[in-house]
Each structure stands twice: as C-alpha cells, then as structure tokens.
Amino acid sequence: MATSDQEQTQELGADDVLAAVAASQQALGTALDRDWEVLAGTLEWTCRRTLDHLIDGTVFYSCQVANEATKRLPPIRMGNPDASVEDLLTTIGSVAHILASTLRSASPEGRAFHPAGMADRTGFAAMSCVELLVHTFDIASGLGIEFVAPQELCERVIRRLSPWITDVGPDAFATLLWSTGRVAIEGQDDVASDWYWQCAPLSEWDGTVRKRPAAPGAPAAAPAR
C-alpha cells in the first residue's frame, strides 16, 4: 500500500491533461489530409470515430468530476458525425481545457464515479492522459504517422494508475502502450484484455493487479475506451 508521501509524488493534474492534448493535437494536426476512415490501429473504430470518442470521454470525465458523481451520469455528448476532422481536433483542445479547469477547482478530497472505482481528481487527470495519449497512438498507427508521447508524463501516469508495474523501463511510452494492450515488450507477457486502473487514491490500493470484472456470462471487454 502506498504511503501519503509516495502518493504525493504521483500527483497529476490539469497541466498534465493540457500537455497530453497538446501532444495529441501537434501530431494529428500534421495528418489532416490523410484518410481518417481507416481503422485506428487495432481498434474497431475508424480514426475519425476514435478522435470523436476522445471528445466524448473528456466531456464525461468533466461532468463526473464537476458533480462529484456517485454513479455514471447520462452522457451529454455521443459523437458528432457532421463535424470535420479539423473541427474535432480543435474541439478536443477545448474540452481538455474544460476538464483542466474542472480539475483545478475540484476538492483534493472529492471523489467521482468511474467504472474502475471512485476516483479522485488526480486519478481522473491520469486517466484522461491515458485516453489522450493511447488513442492518439491508435489514430497515428491507422494514419501511418509517428507519435511519441512525453516520456516523463507517461512514467508518472503509469505509477499513478498501475502501481504494480515496478519497472517502467527506459521507454515509458512503450510501457504505457504495453500496459493498455497495444504493443508487446520483449521479456514481458502480453497484457490480458481485462486490464484495469487503480483510479482511486493509491493509499487505497490493496497491492494486487487490478482486473476488469466481466459481466455474468460475457467475455472481458476489449481495451478500447
């Protein structure tokens, strides 16, 4: 179980969300002329739909945090099929700033519902960074462009959400991708599709690897959130 001092070192917040979205926009902005209807990496979504999903997810996080929700709130956005890719890329920056403002005003002791647990504001910041960085990798893979996320940010995200990963290694972005089932790392077993996060405070971590519970009679969900 993490101590309060250890937890403090893993603090993520609004500035990290903005750093993640800036990296995403910078990379994807170079590929506006590509075919965005191709699949995004190993996902079953197109690149365009994956970008649209990023907006949905960021808005969802903002609503959960702002309300200190104790359950999943009804979605206020479920994609915009009429928006251009350029507009979507602008919008992801706008909603990331909304989330950043929400995180700044949130109480350090506040909690809000996520399927992985009752997360605090640093948990939501970390999860948002994963969504932005990993799905940008998915999109970049589909478009055939390179994307490398900020290494220091990736390392801090891993230590906050996956504290069981004790050796982040020399390439923190590769480890983040491996931990979310995107890539293989030599010498490491592949991560199963039921991977999950420790989004509640690290002081509450029970020392085990988090796994997503499967619905009764159903296989584990694919890691495309």
The CATH number of the domain holding residue 148 is: 1.20.120.450
> What spatial distance separates the first Cα and last Cα of the chain, rounded to whole Å?
27
What average pLDDT does range 116-128 have in this prediction?
Answer: 97
Tell me how far apart the alpha carbons of residues 27 and 83 are, in angstroms, rounded to a whole number. Answer: 19
DSSP string, 73-140: PPPS----TTS-HHHHHHHHHHHHHHHHHHHHHS-TT--EEETTEEE-HHHHHHHHHHHHHHHHHHHH
Does residue 156 lie in a domain region?
A: yes
For a pLDDT cut of 90, what percent of the chain falls above it?
Answer: 80
Does residue 209 lie in a domain region?
A: no
Helix, coil or strand: residue 64: helix
Greatest CA separation found in the chain?
Answer: 49
Q: Are 155 and 12 in contact (CB under 8 A)?
A: no
Does residue 38 lie in a domain region?
A: yes
CA nearest to 62, candidates 14, 26, 22, 6:
14
pLDDT digits (tens, 9 = 90+) for 160-173: 999 999 999 999 99
pLDDT digits (tens, 9 = 90+) for 21-80: 999 999 999 999 999 999 999 999 999 999 999 999 999 999 999 999 999 999 999 889
Does residue 117 lie in a domain region?
A: yes
Phi and psi, residue 72, nearest 5°:
-70, 125
In angstroms, how far is CA 74 from the centroid of its own chain?
20
What average pLDDT does range 4-16 have in this prediction?
Answer: 70
Across all residues in the chain, what is the average pLDDT?
90
Q: Give me the residues paired with residue 149 across strands.
A: none
Note down the domain range covering 167: 4-204
Report the number of distinct structural domains present in the chain.
Answer: 1
Does residue 211 lie in a domain region?
A: no
pLDDT digits (tens, 9 = 90+) for 186-224: 878 888 888 999 999 999 999 999 998 865 443 333 333
Does residue 11 lie in a domain region?
A: yes
195 DSSP 8-state letter: B
Q: What is the pTM of this model?
A: 0.90
Does residue 125 lie in a domain region?
A: yes
Q: pLDDT confidence of 11, banded at 50, 70, 90? A: confident
